Amino acid sequence: MVSVVTTQAGKIQVLTLDEREQLLPMLRSTQWAEVVGRDALYKEFIFKDFNQAFGFMTRVALQAEKMDHHPEWFNVYNKVHITLSTHECGGLSKRDITLATFIDQVSVL
Residues with catalytic roles: 65, 69-70, 87-88, 96
Q: How far apart are CA 93 and CA 65, in angstroms?
A: 17
Q: Do 87 and 39 meet the contact criterion of CB atoms below 8 Å apart?
A: no
Helix, strand, coil abundance in the chain, percent, nearest 5? 40, 25, 40
**DSSP single-letter state for residue 11:** E
33-34 and 41-46 strand pairing: antiparallel
Q: How far apart are CA 28 and CA 3, in angstroms?
A: 19
